[in-house]
Structure 1
């Protein structure tokens, strides 16, 4: 599975985990040069999420990726795994 934005592969793994209809990528599968830790946090039934801004060239996609450092409930299997929103596509 690949996470792609602006024709750039942000993450790639054969080991994603599906939670709530989203692919979560292992931390070592993300291309870290495109990620900048955000100050944004939110809370859901999976716990408290932390966010990344995505930067590809001059294009910025704020808070487009997130992860759960201490997931709860169903999220227990995705600790620090990263998922995406805001126009990032998932492709096999």
Structure 2
């Protein structure tokens, strides 16, 4: 599967390596092309996953502020709910598309 912004692939991994949480596909950290992401200061804490890190995603033409997010150190009890450790996995939304 791929996370795409205007035709630019910003993450790519086989579906069996992704984790789906609350309707969002989370990509393993090694599958994300870091050169397209920059951390933001947007604060958010999920009641069961913990502190979230947002990222601005840019492809050199378009910029999507807070277009990606991750839980670098999720609440350990959330692993039972998700079924595995998803520390550092990255999900995409807003103007990014996740496709096969």
Alignment TM-score > 0.5, same fold: yes
1:55 aligned residue:
58
Which of 85, 88, 92 aligns to 1:77? It is: 85
**Partner Cα separation in structure 1 for residue 10 and residue 43 of structure 2:** 21
2:39 aligned residue:
37
**Partner Cα separation in structure 1 for residue 59 and residue 37 of structure 2:** 9
2:97 aligned residue:
89
Deviations 1:28-65 (A, max 9, x none): 10111111111112011311100110111131100110
**Partner Cα separation in structure 2 for residue 58 and residue 23 of structure 1:** 24
- SS state at 1:39 partner: coil
**Partner Cα separation in structure 1 for residue 30 and residue 10 of structure 2:** 11
Count of residues in Structure 1 that have an aligned counterpart in Structure 2: 92
Q: What TM-score results when the alignment is normalised by the length of structure 1?
A: 0.91
Larger strand percent? 1
Give structure 1 regions of 4+ aligned residues with deviation exceeding 6 angstroms.
none
5+ unaligned residues in a row in structure 1: which ranges? none
* RMSD (Å) for aligned C-alpha atoms: 1.3
